[in-house]
Chains A and B, each alone.
Chain A
Amino acid sequence: EVQLVQSGAELKKPGESLKISCKGSGYTFPKYWIAWVRQMPGKGLEWMGIIYPDDSDTRYSPSFQGQVTISVDKSINTAYLQWSRLKASDTAIYYCARPNMVSTLGAFDIWGQGTMVTVS
């Protein structure tokens, strides 16, 4: 079964750092882009950025450039989203997602279950 499994919920204080994860299984992980999507409480979906595990090519939305870091460890089929200094406004659910086409960009057919990050 193709799936993305994300790390568990986090409760952090402002100014702390955080790294959440997204582990892929059931497919050739290095050959599919992995994206991160934010949903703030009561708000819509926001596309944050995307990484290609095979060569770590990373693209960010201008809204999130410099605010987060996306990385990957293809040896363990895991992508990461990290913050160096959290703010209360980072409180949200974060989803990772995989496009429906190998080695290229496309619609997201596989999603992680989401990681709730609370900064308070």
Chain B
Amino acid sequence: DIVMTQSPDSLAVSLGERATINCKSSQTILSTSKNKHYLAWYQKKPGQPPKLLIYWASTRESGVPDRFSGSGSGTDFTLTISSLQAEDVAIYYCQQYYSPPPWTFGQGTEVEIK
């Protein structure tokens, strides 16, 4: 199975400041035929289902604020919140969906306000 490792486990950022979350896969999740990385980012708030933010490592889901961006290649990926807002307090998960299953999640990164 592909193991996804996120860092840090938690971070505290001041309102309006940048938050950066890293995700590393234990093997490549790049489809050479499609030239796409099979990597998604989700936001999880208590009492709510996960919300898709980013897919193909850098494609923002419709309706997601543009302060959220994804980047990376190979086995190292990053979710950046450019200017943290109060409503961004949540746990963030990366997930690989590179065939075959299982499509594993990272352990999660908790973002809070400093």
Contacts and interface: CB of A to CB of B under 8 A. Distances in A.
A114 B104 CA distance: 19
Contacts of B104: 47
Interface residues of B, number: 25
Instruction: Provide the main secondary structure of the chain B interface.
Output: loop
Interface residues of A, number: 26
B65 interface: no
B18 to A, nearest CB: 24
Nearest to B53: A107
Given A35-B103, A109-B61, 16 more contacts: A44-B93, A44-B108, A46-B105, A47-B95, A47-B101, A47-B102, A61-B1, A62-B102, A95-B50, A97-B49, A99-B97, A100-B52, A105-B97, A108-B50, A111-B50, A113-B49
Interface of B: 1, 40, 42, 44, 49-52, 55-56, 61, 91, 93, 95, 97, 99-108
